[in-house]
Structure 1
Amino acid sequence: MKNIILVFCCFITLNLNGQDIIKTNDGDIKIHPIVHGTLALEYKEFTIYVDPYGGAEGFKGLNDADLILITDIHGDHLNKKTLTALNTKKSHFVVPEAVAKQMEGIDNSEIEILNNDNSTSFKGIKITAVPMYNLPVDAESRHPKGRGNGYLLNIADKVIYISGDTEDIPEMRALKNIDIAFVCMNLPYTMSIEQASDAVLEFQPKIVYPFHFRGQGGFADVEKFKSVINSTNKDIEVRLRNWYTEN
């Protein structure tokens, strides 16, 4: 009876922390939704933060980041208040050039510039920068082509896609063999749930997390996003998680 109680308590803690576990052929990946477009990944002894935002409190209970990925210059992606509140002295940053130019005062072990269509590696994890931008491509774009990065992470036998702030661009639609995708959907900054679901149905990740879904009109209807996806393709697992305390 005691063992049953202990297992149950561990299960409750796992869910309260919002942690998902993905099995690979070489250990587990732990996924921690934090807030908006911010998440943390743990793999073996490594901890990865993506777009740290919302204050250090959201990372409570996690190890300091070994690797930090930043997608763009906007404050919900490059957030100096959060970065200076975290211990990043030993963190390796991978960022686009536009972000690197704005990182004065951020402690780090190294800032590595990675622009679209280039790859690097960190501790055996392959990192590829992929395009993220608004359509049409013009001078008025909030997210011009080439400034920011989406990312592909190859961890063991899994490929993880992090969209960054983008619309349903051809480069997204052309993705292949994606195991886990984090896809944005907030108007007027990125794309509608219709655009997002149409793109997801085209590149067919095994698991998709809608995130970054708070826009000017409030929260995007992620339940509808899930319904649209699964009414066409039941094999895509849509994971709805609590990215906002007010949601």
Structure 2
Amino acid sequence: MKHYLALAAALALGAYRAQAQPAAPARPAPDQIPTKKGPLAVQPITHGSVVLTWNGKTIYVDPYGGADAYAGLAAPNVILITDIHGDHLAPQTLGALAAGKALMVVPQAVADKLPAEYKPQVRILRNGQRLDTLGLTISAIPMYNLPEAPDAMHTKGRGNGYVLGLGGKNVYLSGDTEDIPEMRALKNIDVAFVCMNLPYTMDVQQAAQGVLAFRPSIVYPYHYRGQNGLSDVAAFKQTVNQANKKIDVRLRNWYPAAK
């Protein structure tokens, strides 16, 4: 009898724990992109946030939207933050994630606003600087609004776009930018994540023309929720592929809860 009761109690505890675990949110399935050192997994999260997994390393980009959005994913080894706005720098989300051992790569403006507890983990990159770490390279490039103005929502030099070099592939993360010369001048980009949401960044046509200028092999529209709802990413794909069929435009749902 005692053995039976102990077994029943153990089963009940296991069921309780299973129910208590947060369910993984509905997400698009991750893409697998081959590199020289194994696949690069691309997991859309929400808005400008994406999780990249490669060679045993997990990279969180602009973690935002609450810890539940990351349920079931490996803890980050690297966290990239592009800008100070709340959909990129989200201290509440950071505090709820297992981020205590992650290297945080950020611009100075973000470092100035991070809670003090993260300071030992922070590496500041300014536009034009590069970091080699954990078998990958991280280069910071400009992201800003046009025309340049002191009162722009994104001023030149404050935030970072990033180019990651990993396994022979170059991955571009635009951050909040418009169709700037620095983006158009990019070379040998294998995978690009490009924003498009008015009035904060650029419209669909600007984004398409920028992509046609630097010609990535694969491009994901992301960060495409603006003041008037979601941007027309299908029109972006059509515009790009009418001019260049070789660019693989991948439409994934960064807003699974949107109606």
Partner of 1:155: 166
1:125-174 Cα shifts (integer Å, max 9, x gaps): 00000000001111110000000000000001100000000000000000
Unaligned runs of 5+ in 2: 1-25
Distance in 2 separating the partners of 1:211 and 1:200: 13
Distance in 1 separating the partners of 2:249 and 2:104: 29
Equivalent position amino acid for 1:155 in 2:
L
1:61-115 Cα shifts (integer Å, max 9, x gaps): 1111000000000000000111011011101000000000001145475100001
Partner of 2:135: 124
- Residue 20 of structure 1: how far off its partner (Å): 0.4
1:218 paired residue among 229, 232, 240? 229
Partner of 2:189: 178
Partner of 1:207: 218
Q: Please, which moves more after superposition, 16-25 or 181-190?
A: 16-25
Indicate if the aligned counterparts of 2:27 and 2:44 stay in contact, CA closer than 8 A.
no
- Residue 224 of structure 1: how far off its partner (Å): 0.3
| SS of equivalent residue, structure 1 residue 101 | helix
Partner of 1:31: 42
Indicate if the aligned counterparts of 1:176 and 1:203 stay in contact, CA closer than 8 A.
yes
After superposition, the Cα gap between the structure-2 partners of 1:218 and 1:17, relative to the gap in structure 1 and judged at 3 Å, is closer
Distance in 1 separating the partners of 2:235 and 2:173: 21
Indicate if the aligned counterparts of 2:136 and 2:164 stay in contact, CA closer than 8 A.
yes
Task: Specify which structure has the higher proportion of strand.
Answer: 1
Indicate if the aligned counterparts of 2:184 and 2:211 stay in contact, CA closer than 8 A.
yes
Equivalent position amino acid for 1:62 in 2:
L
Indicate if the aligned counterparts of 1:184 and 1:213 stay in contact, CA closer than 8 A.
yes
| SS of equivalent residue, structure 2 residue 211 | helix
| SS of equivalent residue, structure 1 residue 76 | coil
After superposition, the Cα gap between the structure-2 partners of 1:181 and 1:106, relative to the gap in structure 1 and judged at 3 Å, is farther
Indicate if the aligned counterparts of 2:217 and 2:248 stay in contact, CA closer than 8 A.
yes
Indicate if the aligned counterparts of 1:88 and 1:107 stay in contact, CA closer than 8 A.
no
Identity %: 53
Paired residues in the alignment total 234
- Residue 26 of structure 1: how far off its partner (Å): 1.5
2:248 paired residue among 210, 234, 237? 237
1:193 aligned to 2:204? Answer: yes
- Residue 18 of structure 1: how far off its partner (Å): 2.2
Unaligned runs of 5+ in 1: 1-14
Distance in 1 separating the partners of 2:118 and 2:147: 37
Tell which structure's C-alpha radius of gyration is larger: 2
Partner of 1:95: 106
1:55 paired residue among 42, 51, 66? 66
Indicate if the aligned counterparts of 1:21 and 1:30 stay in contact, CA closer than 8 A.
yes
Distance in 1 separating the partners of 2:110 and 2:228: 28
RMSD: 1.5
Indicate if the aligned counterparts of 2:200 and 2:226 stay in contact, CA closer than 8 A.
yes
Indicate if the aligned counterparts of 2:195 and 2:207 stay in contact, CA closer than 8 A.
yes
Partner of 1:166: 177
Q: Which runs of 4+ in 1 moved over 6 A?
A: none
Distance in 2 separating the partners of 1:232 and 1:55: 39
